[in-house]
């Protein structure tokens, strides 16, 4: 039995417990045991920490939380061939079934039977995790470990941003949380003509500046519509990347996408969304891309190339790092919205 | 002065008046005078006829109604070079400005300054109309005149249907009005594996059958979701063509689009649309295409090729034909929803 | 040990030997034992039969030949989960490595380490074959067994044809061998406006007619260029599907593709190809798609849907069927070029 | 009559004559008179200067040479509405017919009846030129006049580079002449992971460095194939931009494009091209895009956005500037291959 420390949701109530747990050493033939180096905290983990309505419906206790991580292969099942002991690996957090029509046609990221690490099964806020080899992605050791740790949300930003061509285009990003902030850098480095960001929180406005935004609009003090039109010769933007999950941000965003433009939607709304789809979407001939997860593994390949070749620097977005035992500090800072990505160092 | 009969909305009230009107013979250098042969009645014309809220806001009286037509070039302005006297022509009803960024980048159908025939300016329920040459499309005389007359809505159906590949795919079409009915034939002739239609009206169910639907579901007596899943091995459809403007139809349609699928939206909803965009769209990784007008003139070229080569037969969908003086009969039949396309013969 | 009859290339010389061979019953954890029902003869098999230059370089003896087949799962390895005993299966003949960047990004058909059944390892002209589960595709028992048997080349035709949209387009197919003939039916059922075929052999001209070609040009008696232009209002075709491997056919084909058109290339040329790439390709703004194999498993999914729903009828192209012991008759008929697909019945 | 200085090919022989010529002041209704500020010298002009075989076949004397320019609208025809007096304009050099199927379907850059400025009709090495309004593109006065002057070849570089997504991809550019050099900057600013260049000439190697190439290979001293593979973990590049017109460069380039990769071809070869299309292209599942001209006016819009927002700096590539009367110096420097773009200042 492997004995290890892990951050566990023991009972159906707020908080976690850091405790020693046991895990069998046995591996399925296609399974890999990963020794975890770093994990990072996602908004999803915060929902589970707070034990909100969504978490209460979704999570079964006891369960180890967490899904974003980087680690080293510690052991492999008898049939594993994609990675070997000692490899540094990051991981898809969406575990595909491999059998549904989506999986068999190269679209595992929309698998009909997805299982999510730390949500549908034990996660990675622990010293070890077992995952099927299909989700692992070996990375170059030249990628800084703190960037590797956030490659999963970085992949979300890439997947959202690259759904359409950005070079020479005007782009609006609604929401500059950690993923929105990463998308700013991606859009800039993909050659966007102008990257405009709408974001009300002061902390995130600063983050957006550091990531290279050309113009940041605070929707609480300024009209997003007016300012975007003014800064695009009245044409509006070619592309909207919606990353806020805020209804008004989305509607204002649609309003200023130019006719024939593209919208990429990662933001999750609370409850139903209501909007004038005729006037804001259909009559304008827009296209809307629903984004979930990351393409396996096109997105990871691009992420790797961007980091390995130092095209994109994620330093400004990785704002805090704590030891695993100080996990509570990390969750508190996240809770206040006064952070980019928060890393917990496990090893 | 040209004296001609025309169907005129004289005052801001329901109905039209068929009367003699005058039109100057002068043509702008880029203008073309077309002698109209056939016109057909669109749902938009019905709104204007009934003088509903939309019409009251949109239409200025007096104005000649109508926008779908086929005719013959009777005279051309001094700079016209795309058509010549005697050519049989059909026409875009969306008149583009030619100057905005959309127009200059090959996307006139989403022109920011569109003017619509019979809505923003005098239309075609008349013996003659003047239009700029840019909207005219010369057709082969082998295309039956009654099919030519409905090439504009046929173009809507083509534009909506061909936004994604259909060959070998399962397709759901919500709504079998005239454009939905034409889309059925297009999907079948584009090699769709199975074309499923949801439609409550008996008349349109019959029309859908004639156009080749593989399965027709009456949402008033059957569950669209259950029947679609049952007929697609539980996978749902690859493509949804929404042509009903009905909220429940759209939501049920989204529900049965398989993960990673495509949705093409032509239907116009009354008021705001409210739906669970997270669960029905984003998490499924769908793509939504807002459809307006027809691509100028890719869509018209495809329409011409499909009709000229007799790939698609529009006979079942052209259900009624009246002389212009019997226009009221046409509008009454349309009003009851007991028709496909209704043609008024002008010449 | 499994004892079975198999068609074996015993020595580096023309011909095969039908003999009893032995195969171990052991299966790798991911391997599947398939009891073969039908196989079909490919042009590649003919190269091996004749023992031409290509075969001499490529094939190691002794080896069982053949790669196109349909069968039933007879046994599965310990880790197999995609198929189960009794399933009717067809199979990719390109065995991907699963590890290269292509395989890991959803493009197994261009795997860098492909192994081909019956070329790089023992094939399927036998009563049983062992393959990794990743290449198997379960099919509906409603698909006629003789169509299932040729789904691999049918997949080539689909992959080549659907690389661009065909609905309403004019298409030229150069070469009406079995795959070209199948492409004719695909293009027609994908809504092509006009399907023109160039083919010199009388037998294949007849086959092309049966598959629905709108116009067949014999390049030995007619000018392909003149006839295509004449039948397309001087515009040429929108799409060229090159399936002949004949240099002149390809050059003439390029000549009549309209500016901005698309070319899909499956044909294999003998030796280097020489052509005026500036004038025939670059200045015309064409796009050329090199086609190899079938997309795993998008192509197979489309093939299944087209056959299951009886959209395409392959009867005219499956022209001969022999018992395995009469294999020589099949190869002789193929050798003369007087056949469509030739099936050998194993079971 | 307008009297003006112009660089004229007077007789069918090498060289030009700078002389005073006359041009009628009359404008067609859709014509625009442009007062030229800067012109730049293209490789095509060099062919005409040298009076090589191509020029002898193509050019009729007497004719004013030149096609790349920036100017100011001096007068407009009666129907012109896209530009007005005083506008700063650049121009397409490919004058489309507006009537062919390509022009009417948004693809004027592959017009079947193209007329090229300075090749098929009088060009722009003069104080004034008359062109139809359709080819003009108004630019922001904030764009430096020397960059505006080379927006036509910059457009070639953009059109070639953006035919596929580059963000996070490895790219090989064969040939670092002025357009290749501009493509280096575009690829880098579009987020390419690594931009590798093959170029033998010392002058151009220096230029490539200044434009941001990550690795430059001299094919006369090094193996392109070996070095590319070594610098891409053995995978080769995802994208090849061929800009050399050199057969060996193209073949070596194809060799190192990874399976499933994309090739964009702008280079013009002398005579037929001969290569192993089976092994280097088809079996690898590559796609080849033939590039001609610039998309009207998507490419110009992107070019404008990239320059106006200072995303790309063209300074290193604009290496020389002479007064019109010193035109011979410019041509001599171009002739030696010791330059980037050479500008002639007219105004």
Instruction: Read off the pLDDT of residues C281-320 as tens digits, 9 standing for 90 and up.
Output: 999 999 999 999 999 999 999 999 999 999 999 999 999 9
Cα-to-chain-centroid distance, residue B253: 21
For the segment D84-110, the average pLDDT, to the nearest whole number, is: 97
Across the range D162-169, mean pLDDT stands at 96
Q: Identify all chain D residues contacting B98, using CB atoms and an 8 Å cutoff.
A: 81-82
pLDDT at A191 over 90: yes
Nearest chain A residue to C31 by CA: give it.
A79
Measured between CA atoms, the residue of chain A closest to residue C79 is A29
Asked if A309 lies within 8 A of D191 by C-beta distance, the reply is no
The predicted pLDDT at position A305 comes to: 98
* Assembly ipTM: 0.97
Question: Residue B197: which of B240, B153, B165, B163 has the closest Cα?
Answer: B240
Q: Which of residues 139 through 178 in chain C touch A, CB cutoff 8 A?
A: none
Cα angle A337-A342-A344, degrees, rounded to a multiple of 5: 145
D79 and B105 within 8 Å at the Cβ level: the answer is no
| Chain B CA closest to residue D299 | B105
D98 in contact with B, Cβ within 8 Å: yes
State the average pLDDT for chain A: 97
Query: Of A47, A189, A289, A320, which is the active-site residue?
Result: A47
Alpha helices, H only, B257-326: 277, 298-308
pLDDT on residue C347: 87
Cα angle C100-C104-C109, degrees, rounded to a multiple of 5: 75
For residue D136, the model assigns a pLDDT of 98
DSSP element (H, E) containing C257? strand C257-265
Pick from B299, B280, B283: nearest CA to B291: B299
Picking from A269, A285, A292, the nearest residue to B277 by CB comes out as A269
**What residues of chain C lie within 8 A of the CB of B306, using their CB?**
167-168, 191, 193
Q: Give residue D126's pLDDT.
A: 98
Give the percent of chain D with pLDDT over 90.
Answer: 99
Question: C259 and D290 in contact by Cβ < 8 A?
Answer: no
DSSP E strands in C27-178: the ranges are 31-40, 63-64, 68-76, 88-91, 94-95, 115-116, 128-132, 136-138, 170-174
Write out chain B residues lying below 8 Å of C306, CB-based.
167-168, 191, 193
Mean pLDDT of the A268-278 span: 95
Q: Do D98 and B107 touch (CB under 8 A)?
A: no
Q: What pLDDT does residue A347 have? A: 87
Q: In chain C, which residue's Cα lies nearest the Cα of A82?
A: C99
Q: Is A309 helix (H, G, I), strand (E, B) or coil?
A: coil
In sequence order, what DSSP letters do the residues of D226-294 get, joined into one string?
HHHHHTTTTS-EEEEEE-S--HHHHHHHHHHEEEEEEEEE----SS-EEE-HIIIIITTT-EEEE--S-
Q: Are B168 and C194 a contacting pair at CB < 8 A?
A: no
Contact list in A for residue D301 (CB cut-off 8 A) is 168
Give yes or no for A79 touching C (CB within 8 A): yes
Partner-chain contact B265 A283, CB within 8 Å: no
Interface size B-D, in CB pairs within 8 Å, comes to: 49
Residue A47 a catalytic site member: yes
Q: How many CB pairs under 8 A join B and C?
A: 68
Q: Say whether D306 and A168 touch across the interface (CB within 8 A).
A: yes
pLDDT at A337 over 90: no
CB B58 within 8 A of CB B119: yes
pLDDT tens per residue, range D239-277: 999 999 999 999 999 999 999 999 999 999 999 999 999
Quote the radius of gyration of chain A (alpha carbons, Å): 20
Chain C residues with beta carbon closer than 8 angstroms to that of D284 = 110, 290, 292
At C109, list the tokens.
Answer: 């058909």
Q: Are C299 and C155 in contact (CB under 8 A)?
A: yes
Q: Among the options C47, C189, C289, C320, which is catalytic?
A: C47
Going along chain D from its start, the domains and CATH numbers come out as 2-153+294-345 (3.90.180.10), 164-290 (3.40.50.720)
Mutating which of D167, D190, D311 best tests the A interface, going by the most A Cβ atoms within 10 A?
D167
Candidates A260, A270, A279: best to mutate against B (most CBs of B within 10 A) is A260
Q: Supply the pLDDT for residue C91.
A: 98
> Could C191 and B165 be called an inter-chain contact, meaning their C-beta atoms sit closer than 8 Å?
no
Looking at residue B320, its pLDDT comes to: 97
Q: What is the mean pLDDT of residues B47-59?
A: 95
- Report H helices in chain B: 43-50, 53-58, 101-104, 145-148, 151-161, 178-189, 202-211, 224-230, 247-256, 277, 298-308, 327-336
In this complex, which of C170, C191, C214 lies closest to B190 when CB atoms are compared? C191
State how far residue A256 is from chain D, nearest Cα, in angstroms: 18
Nearest C-alpha of chain B: how many angstroms from C221? 26
Q: What is the pLDDT of residue C71?
A: 98
Token couple for C38: 């039908």
Residue D104: list chain B partners with CB under 8 A. Answer: 82, 137, 296-297, 301
Cβ partners under 8 Å of residue B143, min gap 6? B304, B307, B308
Residue B279 — very low, low, confident or very high, per pLDDT cuts 50/70/90?
very high
B93: closest CA among B108, B72, B107?
B108
Helix (H, G, I), strand (E, B) or coil at D26: coil
CA atoms of A13 and C111, how far apart (whole Å): 49
Mean pLDDT of A207-232: 98
Quick check: D297 pLDDT over 90? yes
Q: What is the spatial distance between Cα B181 and Cα B166, in angstroms, rounded to a whole number? A: 16
CB burial of D131-160 (b: ≥16 within 10 Å; e: otherwise) equals bbbbbbbbbeeebebbbbbbbbbbbbbbbb
Nearest to B269 among A110, A265, A278 (CB): A278
- Using CB atoms within 10 Å of the CB of residue D266, give its burial: 0 to 12 exposed, 13 to 18 middle, 19+ buried: buried
pLDDT in tens, A30-68: 999 999 999 999 999 999 999 999 999 999 999 999 999
Q: What are phi and psi of C311, to 5 degrees?
A: -75, -40
Rounded to whole angstroms, the Cα distance separating B123 from D42 reads: 50
pLDDT band at B337 (very low <50, low <70, confident <90, very high): confident
Chain B closest CA to C306's CA: distance in Å? 5
- Indicate the average pLDDT of chain C: 97
Catalytic position from the list A44, A88, A174, A319: A44
Q: Is the pLDDT of residue C115 over 90?
A: yes
The confidence band for B347, taking pLDDT boundaries of 50, 70 and 90, is confident
In this structure, are residues A79 and A29 in contact, taking their beta carbons and an 8 Å threshold?
yes
Give the residue from chain A lying closest to C302, CA to CA. A105
Cβ-based neighbour number of residue C5 at 10 Å? 16
Q: What is the mean pLDDT of residues B265-284?
A: 96
Confidence of residue C337 (pLDDT cuts 50, 70, 90): confident
Nearest C-alpha in C relative to D289: C287
Is residue A305 less than 8 Å (CB to CB) from chain C?
no
């Amino acid at each position: 039995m492997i004995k290890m420390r892990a951050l566990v949701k023991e009972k159906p109530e707020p908080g976690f417990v850091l405790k020693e747990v046991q895990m069998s050493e046995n591996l399925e033939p296609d399974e890999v045991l990963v020794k975890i180096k770093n994990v990072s905290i996602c908004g999803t983990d915060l929902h589970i920490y707070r034990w909100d309505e969504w978490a209460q419906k979704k999570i079964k206790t006891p369960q180890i939380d967490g899904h974003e991580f980087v680690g080293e292969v510690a052991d492999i099942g008898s049939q594993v061939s994609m990675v070997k002991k000692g490899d540094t690996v990051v991981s898809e957090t969406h575990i595909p079934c491999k059998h549904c029509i989506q999986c068999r046609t190269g679209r595992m990221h929309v698998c009909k039977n997805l299982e999510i690490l730390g949500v549908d099964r034990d996660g990675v806020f622990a010293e070890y995790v077992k995952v099927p080899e299909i989700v692992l992605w070996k990375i170059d050791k030249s990628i800084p470990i703190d960037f590797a740790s956030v490659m999963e949300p970085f992949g979300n930003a890439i997947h959202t941003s690259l759904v359409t061509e950005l070079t020479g285009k005007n782009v609006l990003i609604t929401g500059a949380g950690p993923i929105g902030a990463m998308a700013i850098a991606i859009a800039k480095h993909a050659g966007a003509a102008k990257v405009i960001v709408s974001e009300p929180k002061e902390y995130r406005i600063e983050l957006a500046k550091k990531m290279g935004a050309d113009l940041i609009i605070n929707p609480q003090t300024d009209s997003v519509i007016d300012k975007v039109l003014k800064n695009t010769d009245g044409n509006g933007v070619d592309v909207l990347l919606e990353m806020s999950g805020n209804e008004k941000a989305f509607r204002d965003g649609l309003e200023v996408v130019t006719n024939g433009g593209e919208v990429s939607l990662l933001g999750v709304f609370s409850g139903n969304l209501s909007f004038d789809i005729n006037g804001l979407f259909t009559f304008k001939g827009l296209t809307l891309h629903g984004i979930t997860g990351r393409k396996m593994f096109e997105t990871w390949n691009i992420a790797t190339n961007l980091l390995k070749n130092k095209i994109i620097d994620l330093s400004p977005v990785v704002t805090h790092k704590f030891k695993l035992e100080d996990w509570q500090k990390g969750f508190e800072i996240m809770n206040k919205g006064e952070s980019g990505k928060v890393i917990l160092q496990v090893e």
